Amino acid sequence: MGNHYENTIIIQNQNTWIEGAAVVQLRHTATLNGMRRVAGMPDLQPGRGYPVGAAFFSTGVFYPALIGGDIGCGMGLWQTGLCARRTPPAKLVKQLGSIDAPEAGDVPATIGGGNHFAELQCPDQIYRAELLPPDWHGKHLLLLVHSGSRGLGGQILREHVERFGHQGLAENSPEAADYLAKHDHALDFARRNRAAIAARMLARWRSEGTCLLDLPHNFLQRAEYAGETGWLHRKGASPANRGLTVLPGSRGDYSYLLMPAENTGFALDSLAHGAGRKWQRGECKGRLSRKYPADSFRKTALGSVVVCADKALLYEEAPQAYKSVADTVAALEQAGLATAVARLKPVLTYKTAGACHD
């Protein structure tokens, strides 16, 4: 269910593999001034100084560096009007074209770097029908958008680091108030960015869409644990106290709709935000290129289509570079943190169509 180390917990089971460097980083955060508890998720992985896939609770002081540069990054899930059986992927790709260029008056609509993506999915298995959202339509496709605040959050972090390094900010200081105002703006920008991406894609497909959920997984908030009021930092950790959440696998794996349990405080009310990386980005091409040409990653073993004109990203985001999402979900369930509601199968994953702007 979980390994404990002083004020640290890691949610894992016998099938969970976590890189040692990530555990070292997590334990280091537990020693920061004011830090009361840290919780690593099954998708815990090393980050730039601090781990990804974790939540951190401190009192009296908070740490912008723990949130990172992509403030507000998260997942939005939309119910579309696209019939799953009557909409072949090739037709969807043609209708979509490229959404890489921003539109006048619109939030920048490109997806973003790294592992950001938009994906059409079809319901594959339903485990708890009574927990599905009211607007659920089992015969129609869903649209999952994973994106954040783009360059805005990075700029906010750079400004902070230039002034304070990785030091925390005293909670009642003017500097803390200034950061929180910028943080909240980036959080809202990221949400609107996901909505703009979804709206643009749905318009290309001439489909209506209803937002079923939108949850950030990189953000800071006031919280209370064990009778103390302080600051909950999430870096790659989905909230477990806001209802249904979605946990994606790789572009060649399933995603899961999860219902958090009632008591998740021991894990800082947080869940994994994805399957978790197995390989670092820099080693993916070396591991895969001799056996797999880049174009082989444009279609997955599940029959879905991948739109990604960047060959480097085809290797970096290859399904082989990620853990099994089923193992990650199982670790959460065995820890008593969540229940699987539905499994979603990828149909079309969009990253970038390259220079073919229209």
Instruction: Supply 82's token pair.
Output: 């696209």
Q: For residue 355, what pLDDT is reported?
A: 52
As annotated, the active-site residues are 273
Q: In percent, how much of the chain has pLDDT > 70?
A: 95
For range 117-129, the mean pLDDT: 97
Q: For residue 124, what pLDDT is reported?
A: 96
Q: For residue 108, what pLDDT is reported?
A: 52
Annotated binding site for GMP: 115-119, 217-218, 255, 273-276, 351
State the Cα–Cα distance between residues 113 and 313, nearest whole angstrom.
9
Cβ-contact 358, 32 below 8 angstroms = no
Annotated binding site for Mn(2+): 116, 146, 217
Q: For residue 102, what pLDDT is reported?
A: 72
For range 280-305, the mean pLDDT: 93
Q: How confident is the model at residue 90 (pLDDT cuts 50, 70, 90)?
A: very high
Question: What is the pairing mode between strands 245-248 and 255-260?
Answer: antiparallel
Side-chain half-sphere of 86: how many Cα atoms within 13 Å? Answer: 6
pLDDT above 90: residue 114: no
Triad 355, 357, 358: Cα angle to 5°: 155
Residues pairing with 122 in the sheet: 345
Instruction: Supply 42's token pair.
Output: 């099954």
State the Cα–Cα distance between residues 60 and 76, nearest whole angstrom.
32
Q: For residue 112, what pLDDT is reported?
A: 82
State the Cα–Cα distance between residues 246 and 310, nearest whole angstrom.
26
Using alpha carbons, list the distances in angstroms from residue 323 to 270, 290, 291, 293, 342: 19, 21, 20, 21, 19
Q: How confident is the model at residue 358 (pLDDT cuts 50, 70, 90)?
A: very low
State the Cα–Cα distance between residues 233 and 218, nearest whole angstrom.
8
Considering the chain, what is the average pLDDT of its residues? 93
DSSP secondary structure letters along 66-99: HH-SSTT-EEEEEEEEEETTT--HHHHHHHH---
Q: Which of 55, 22, 5 is nearest to 337 (CA)?
A: 55
Amino acid at 213: L
Residue tagged 């992509």 (tokens): 70
Which range of 29-43, 81-95, 276-290 scores highest in mean pLDDT? It is 29-43
CATH number of 2-352: 3.90.1860.10
Annotated binding site: 115-119, 146, 217-218, 255, 273-276, 351
Q: The pTM is what? A: 0.94
Using alpha carbons, list the distances in angstroms from residue 208 to 83, 102, 103, 110, 204: 12, 21, 19, 20, 11
- Provide the 10 A C-beta neighbour count for residue 207: 19
Question: What is the H or E stretch that residue 184 is in?
Answer: helix 174-204
Q: For residue 356, what pLDDT is reported?
A: 42
Cβ-contact 193, 85 below 8 angstroms = no
Q: For residue 110, what pLDDT is reported?
A: 80
Which alpha helices (H) appear in 97-173, and where do they start and end? 151-164
